[in-house]
Amino acid sequence: MIENETPGTAAARLTGCAVSSERPLSGAVTEVALDGGQLVIVKGDTAPGAVRAEAAGLRWLADAGTVRVPAVRGMDEHWLVTDHVRTGPPSARAAARFGRDLAALHASGAPAFGAPPPGGPTDAYIGLAPMRNVPATDWPNWYAGQRVLPYLRRAVDAGTLRHTEATVVERVCEQLPRLAGPAEPPARLHGDLWNGNVLWGADGHVRLIDPAAHGGHRETDLAMLHLFGCPHLPEVLDGYQEAAPLAPNWPDRIGLHQLFPLLVHVVLFGRGYAEQTLSAARAALAG
């Protein structure tokens, strides 16, 4: 970062527009008003590659022409400037449209499981946790080796999960070829699709923010919507199924797909997510 640079001065430098005001929102996120009244969101991040990963993810999702995302207005190694989203109340109609659009996003595909967005780094992030994007052709082995076991090891090494507790997650990984359901092609995932990253636009269209985009299994995005709740989720799922029916018994696999984000939460936030993680693992084995 340029020494003593504020989000406002960064926005002016990266957009070429004068700034009239700035208002901190949360953490490293600031709302900045450009001259002329347009609002942008400025995020600062010093983690290597984090801004490049997020910007590449936003552009990759936008290129699909399906679910809407804020446009990238400017970026460098440490700052990302995107359009501001004016929000409104969630509605069943917007939820059904979102479901159809999300199905179309997934169907736009990816070169491989674990493939990063074009121009995105191999070493990316999900939230504040490092996440490696290493392409593979086989989903069960990739999901176990690149999405579940790395975070399980970190949790055990930190003492957040006990060795005896980790065995149930390891059994899920061993049995993934049986538990994974019918084979599917790589989907273009948002990758961090919890409710906080779903913005209900005032114009009736959902926008997605803060992606951890990569090629993956489409049920993973849907499992994360279930994990922390989403307004009008039944309507979202109805819209999705209308556009692209899911494989039989997909609800039985929700716990399987939630293991990745839950283990990330164990690593980032501690023991409070341990029992939920173990319950998801047990549900996956039962399914």
**Which of 181, 173, 115 has its CA nearest to residue 141?**
173
Task: Report the alpha-carbon distance of residue 19 to residue 116 in Å, rounded.
Answer: 34
Q: How confident is the model at residue 27 (pLDDT cuts 50, 70, 90)?
A: confident
**Rounded Cα–Cα distance for residues 124 and 248 (Å):** 32
pLDDT in tens, 198-210: 999 999 999 999 9
Q: Given 192, 203, 210, 252, which residue is catalytic?
A: 192
Q: Give the model confidence (pLDDT) of 78-131 as tens digits.
A: 999 999 999 999 999 999 999 999 999 999 999 999 999 999 999 999 999 999
192 given a catalytic annotation: yes
User: Going from the N-terminus, what domains does the chain have, and what CATH number goes with each?
Assistant: 1-84 (3.30.200.20), 85-287 (3.90.1200.10)
- % pLDDT > 90, the chain: 94
Predicted pLDDT of residue 2: 64
Task: Please check whether residue 20 is in contact with residue 33, taking contact to mean a CB–CB distance below 8 angstroms.
Answer: yes
Q: Confidence class of residue 1 from pLDDT cuts 50, 70 and 90? A: low
pLDDT value at 237 more than 70: yes
Q: Tens digit of pLDDT for each residue in 135-153?
A: 999 999 999 999 999 999 9
Q: What is the pLDDT of residue 199?
A: 98
Nearest of 212, 193, 50, 194 to residue 116 by alpha carbon: 212
